[in-house]
Structure 1
């Protein structure tokens, strides 16, 4: 494997371990009241607050959610949550980052630029967008599973969510919401690399010491994270709401079907199990909560983005230097 594959893989894994607790908060704020139904939680402000009474809830969808346990063993379980089910998300986001950086670097080379010192920021943006599109095969199912796990109030793990989707809808179900996810990733990663390279070129100096270079990498990486999320946050809100719509549950299917039959007998319409399109989700969110709903959670997301991407770029640059 190439140096940029392993550098991207390890930096992605590091980002998951650091940033997932804040990502849970962001996802629940974005999902709003629309994320209600079987296995889903009330994610209004009060609902979010009530579900963060212990550390274990902060790792849902990243490090697997803890199974239900009694008050007597909560403290012990909270101490052990770091090692519970971490394999799947680390593999997923590590692979995503590896694909991203390989595609970005190869795209720059095809456009005639040196990937280590790119000069044309427009070509940097286009290469980043190409990298974002390439991650679709990993990003779409990973985002779907992560978001559903993070807003779930049941004991469902990422693996049980995958099994349920696979059993009901097959491969196609794992890519639900993939269209809006791919657009978000293309635009976001375009600005991601554009802002990182632009700030690095503006701030770097040939006279920088190793310490100064490391600090500037951290600052440029953190800035790139904030710019990226600010550019795509409304798209991310819509994506989250699309992927966390009301879902069927094997435990409640019979009751839902009975309710549907009863409503039909009385001449009433029913939306049980109905999934809205991306456009309708956006329209419904605007009509219900106004324009600011598309920026709900941006503050916590910006904080997370700065920390995670500062670390990711530092790990990536360090690994590239080490492997090359």
Structure 2
């Protein structure tokens, strides 16, 4: 019997697959990021003296959201999370795969060493955040404003930020995000590729 020979997916196909998968990840990310954003906002308000100090924990925020808005309250900002994740991960995986193709120069990508893999992962992370950082800013603002019921949806929040704070406000904090993204995603893909190779070698040994 002949063995089925499958061609590896193209860079575009890998990017599209990552983009599709991110839509499902958004369903998990949205509630957790909503809780995180609210905790961070409460801490900043306590530090600045705008509100009295209290015992704010993950569980207390979860109970407050559930009591006030029910289960759907955890999905404030879902549309903006999807707008960030779906195109963002297209650029993330697309940038990673294109960079690997560049370093491979016609060879198999599996032959790449740790340095090209880390550089490719870092490049993918940079592509992700350059593409979606303004959307992430709007998403976080929506999730914070939903505490007081003042959030006005994606378009309304976007217009409000640009009108009151200027376009550059959408990129506030981009530089440290990029500085963090490069080594973090470089390490992520390096660990992924080497653990994948290890597991494949063990699988083939059996």
For structure 2, the residue ranges without an aligned partner over 5 or more in a row are 1-5, 44-53, 201-206
Instruction: Kindly indicate whether the alpha-carbon contact (under 8 Å) linking 2:101 and 2:109 is maintained by their aligned counterparts in 1.
Output: no
Alignment equivalent of 2:61, drawn from 161, 176, 179: 161
Aligned to 1:140: 30
2:165 is equivalent to residue 275 of structure 1: no
After superposition, the C-alpha distances for 1:260-284 in whole angstroms (9 at most, x for unaligned) are xxxxxxxxxxxxx433222111111
Q: Offset at 1:125?
A: 2.5
**Which of the pair is proportionally richer in helix?**
2
Aligned to 1:321: 197
Aligned length: 184
After superposition, the C-alpha distances for 1:172-216 in whole angstroms (9 at most, x for unaligned) are 011111011011100000111100000001102649998x61111
Instruction: Kindly indicate whether the alpha-carbon contact (under 8 Å) linking 2:35 and 2:61 is maintained by their aligned counterparts in 1.
Output: yes
After superposition, the C-alpha distances for 1:241-266 in whole angstroms (9 at most, x for unaligned) are 11111625xxxxxxxxxxxxxxxxxx
Q: Could you tell me the TM-score, scaled by structure 1's length?
A: 0.53
After superposition, the C-alpha distances for 1:279-322 in whole angstroms (9 at most, x for unaligned) are 11111100111111111111011011112111111121122122
Instruction: Kindly indicate whether the alpha-carbon contact (under 8 Å) linking 2:76 and 2:146 is maintained by their aligned counterparts in 1.
Output: no
Q: How does 1:253-272 map to 2 (within 5 A)?
A: none
Q: Which runs of 4+ in 1 moved over 6 A?
A: 207-210
Distance in 2 between residues matched to 1:279 and 1:197, nearest whole Å: 32
Alignment equivalent of 1:186, drawn from 82, 86, 94: 86
Q: Could you tell me the TM-score, scaled by structure 2's length?
A: 0.81
Aligned to 1:83: none
2:135 is equivalent to residue 244 of structure 1: no
Aligned to 1:288: 164
Q: Offset at 1:145?
A: 1.4
Aligned to 1:24: none
Aligned to 2:40: 150
Instruction: Kindly indicate whether the alpha-carbon contact (under 8 Å) linking 2:123 and 2:182 is maintained by their aligned counterparts in 1.
Output: yes
In 2 relative to 1, CA 247–207 (structure 1 residues): closer, same or farther, beyond 3 Å? closer
Distance in 2 between residues matched to 1:130 and 1:208, nearest whole Å: 23
After superposition, the C-alpha distances for 1:59-110 in whole angstroms (9 at most, x for unaligned) are xxxxxxxxxxxxxxxxxxxxxxxxxxxxxxxxxxxxxxxxxxxxxxxxxxxx
SS across alignment from 2:150: coil
Alignment equivalent of 2:9, drawn from 118, 122, 126: 118
In 2 relative to 1, CA 243–207 (structure 1 residues): closer, same or farther, beyond 3 Å? closer
Distance in 2 between residues matched to 1:169 and 1:141, nearest whole Å: 13
